[in-house]
Structure 1
Amino acid sequence: MRLCFPFLALVALCWCCSAFAEDSDEEKRAELPAAVLNSIGGVEYTRKGADTCIKCHDESAEYPVFDIFKTKHAVIADSRTPFSGLQCEACHGPGVKAIQFMEQALETGSHVGRVRPGEKRPPIFNFGPKSNESVQAQNGMCLECHEDDAHIAWQGSAHQMAEIACADCHTVHTAHDPSLDKHTQSDVCYNCHQQQRADFLKPSHHPVRFGELGCSDCHAAHGSTSDSMLAKNTLNETCFGCHAEKRGPFLWEHAPVAEDCSLCHEPHGSVHQALLSKRAPLLCRDCHSQEGHPSLANSPGGQPTAMLLGNSCTNCHSQVHGSNHPSGLKMMR
């Protein structure tokens, strides 16, 4: 009887462990995004997670596999991250098919046991321009976790409609994602936005190329409710984030300032000072007629002189954004 009881206890323990393992697999499958399930079908997960993957995947400049361990995605203590649960397979799907692929490759001699750049890839869920998965499937994988307020406007945004994949901008397997660093963020954006790159090289520009300002300071790359994917509701609100002194309120307002900063300024760069779209007085004459101006009283033929055209209206009208002076009607003080 004494021998029988430990034996029964051992059998019960094994049964419990087996049941727990089965439940664990089912829970893992429940956590797997639909994008992966549709792509790779019903297969099982590996038992060792990332340890299984790094046996075959080599580190290279093009595929910085091990750098994933230096990122927030690999923080095991954070329950929101992939590595707190399924690890590599949380994004790339169950690795069983990859293992089967490598075993067959070793048998046929088409591989030497490790996955190197340029070689045929195992049948798992991949990201980037060389992926066999659709852009919608790739982005759907990321949105399974990244569903906060910063991404709520993604559906219907200009980038989503243009079928831009998250991996086109973000580099996940690297300690420092270039798209998140102000010093390198613009280079990522310039891959598509060539005209803006040229604008920032003009004499008058925002300090983007010096890393003092990033594209994301003005634009919401994941979508917004405003035009041009601005970070705030209007262009003026976006500009006032830095240029608060131009906000007002003013006793004497300049109508274009209250309406839209881009009526006078080019936001990315200009050949004219202060990011102006034209030089004064030509810019001012888009709205203000020269007729009746005091400077024309003594000019020949009632036409502006070269001296007037060579100067700027702001020589006198210095408070072009508005004035709070009791005598500031003409924006002169």
Structure 2
Amino acid sequence: MNMIDLKQSRLNRWLLAFAPPILALSALSLALAQKQPAANESSTVQWKQPAGNPGDFAGTEVCAGCHVVEDSQFAKTAHAARHAEAAYGTGCESCHGPGKAHADAMNAAGGDDEKLQAAKKLVFAFHASPAKNSAKCLTCHVSSQDQQHFARSEHHFNGVACNTCHASHLVESAGVSNQAGAELPLAQFFTAVRRQEEQRWLSSSLLKKSQPALCYSCHGAVQSQFTLPSHHRVNEGLMKCTDCHSPHGTRNQPMLKKTNWEGCVNCHIEKRGPFIFEHAAVKVEGCTACHSPHGTVSRMLLLRREGRFLCLQCHVDPHAPNVPHGRLGFATRGECVRCHATVHGSNHSKFFLD
């Protein structure tokens, strides 16, 4: 065996020994390049006993005597949790307030419509203004890390109350199909398995409908964006609106859980960095300077059909030191990313050439 054959034999043995681990690591890195959003944190809601005299409360058992269906559904939720330290005001009356006067008046009405209507007004039934309805929920939920900013949220300012989206018992939403959104364009592809309505309701914060159908009932313009050819897979069930947005309000606009680019790199972790050479547009203006977060007709959710024209929105001065090409060269010589491949940031080239 000559020297060349010996070297080739050693190379083959090396490849057989190390190629599988290298391929496995490569596959793992690709799998981790995009990750699912983290699971929700445990609840921080602290129950508060409603105001009133002990004699004004009837107890959950009295409520269940008439509201059988509501009680059976309510009993499955976290709201029905018993508080050993409280002698009264738990269960139904935690939200609806003292119910003894209401129960006594209903029994004394004797079928009289006027008396029945008057009796129904003796308990808080969430038929008040959105602000009052939400204030009732926030008695306890204001302590939640997720809901403490609701009073400054866009939903609050636009008259959206807690019970607009949530249902403490699913009676008012009975018959609502969880197939909502199945007729949307492209939704028949990559569609996640849908669960029974009650199971969905209990496992999704008591929402009246599933996402995104519930959000689309108000945000029609956003719904149309998600039907465009290039879009995040919300209609297909692989993402939810609340993966990026907090419907209860945040300090960020538009109710994003994190500031612009920080929210995106939760999933697109390969773009996170930090890089030695950062692209200033990413850190200053965020991902939405170039991408549409909902959907576009352009590839990779770009705001412009051709990426070079997107670059020209900032790189417009042909004499600037960071623009070594003439404007004509920009428009005629193809896409910028043919050379500047790492536009999100680089550890090797300040011109993002690697």
The reply on whether 1:149 has 2:148 as its aligned counterpart is no
What CA distance in whole angstroms lies between the structure 2 residues aligned with 1:303 and 1:261? 22
The superposition leaves residues 214-250 of structure 1 with CA deviations (integer Å, 9 ceiling, x where unpaired) of 2222112222112211112x21111122222212222
Q: Residue 321 of structure 1 corresponds to which residue in structure 2?
A: 344
Q: What is the deviation of 1:67?
A: 0.8
Q: Residue 235 of structure 2 corresponds to which residue in structure 1?
A: 209
Change (3 A) 1:65 1:210: farther
Q: Residue 247 of structure 2 corresponds to which residue in structure 1?
A: 221
Aligned residues of 2:77 and 2:202 also touching (Cα < 8 A): no
Q: SS of the counterpart of 2:75?
A: helix
- Determine which of 259, 265, 272 is the counterpart of 1:240: 265
Q: What is the deviation of 1:264?
A: 0.3
Runs of at least 5 residues in structure 2 that lack an aligned partner in the other structure = 1-47, 171-197
Q: What aligned pairs does 1:1-333 form with structure 2 within 5 A after superposition?
A: 31-33=49-51, 44-46=56-58, 49-57=59-67, 59=69, 64-76=70-82, 85-108=89-112, 110=113, 122-123=120-121, 124-127=123-126, 131=127, 133-146=128-141, 147-174=143-170, 175=198, 176-177=201-202, 180=205, 184-232=210-258, 234-259=259-284, 260-279=286-305, 280-289=307-316, 304-305=331-332, 308=333, 311-325=334-348, 328-333=349-354
The amino acid across from 2:107 in the alignment is E
Aligned residues of 1:68 and 1:172 also touching (Cα < 8 A): yes
The amino acid across from 1:154 in the alignment is F
Q: TM-score, normalised by structure 2?
A: 0.65
What CA distance in whole angstroms lies between the structure 1 residues aligned with 2:162 and 2:224? 25
Aligned residues of 2:212 and 2:235 also touching (Cα < 8 A): yes
The amino acid across from 1:332 in the alignment is L
Q: What is the deviation of 1:92?
A: 1.1
What CA distance in whole angstroms lies between the structure 1 residues aligned with 2:81 and 2:87? 6
What CA distance in whole angstroms lies between the structure 1 residues aligned with 2:290 and 2:119? 53
The amino acid across from 1:153 in the alignment is H
What CA distance in whole angstroms lies between the structure 2 residues aligned with 1:318 and 1:209? 31
Q: What is the deviation of 1:86?
A: 2.4
What CA distance in whole angstroms lies between the structure 2 residues aligned with 1:303 and 1:284? 9
Q: SS of the counterpart of 1:180?
A: coil
Change (3 A) 1:322 1:121: farther
Aligned residues of 1:75 and 1:83 also touching (Cα < 8 A): no
Q: TM-score, normalised by structure 1?
A: 0.69
Q: What is the deviation of 1:211?
A: 2.6
Q: What is the deviation of 1:106?
A: 2.3
Moved over 4 A (4+): 82-85, 290-297, 302-305
The count of aligned residue pairs is 269
Larger radius of gyration: 1
- The alignment-based identity, stated in percent, is 35
Q: What is the deviation of 1:287?
A: 1.8
Q: Residue 23 of structure 1 corresponds to which residue in structure 2?
A: none
Q: What is the deviation of 1:274?
A: 0.9
Q: What is the deviation of 1:69?
A: 1.1
Determine which structure has greater relative contact order: mean sequence separation of CA pairs < 8 Å that are 6+ residues apart, divided by chain length: 2
Give the superposed CA RMSD.
3.5
What CA distance in whole angstroms lies between the structure 2 residues aligned with 1:315 and 1:166? 50
Runs of at least 5 residues in structure 1 that lack an aligned partner in the other structure = 1-29
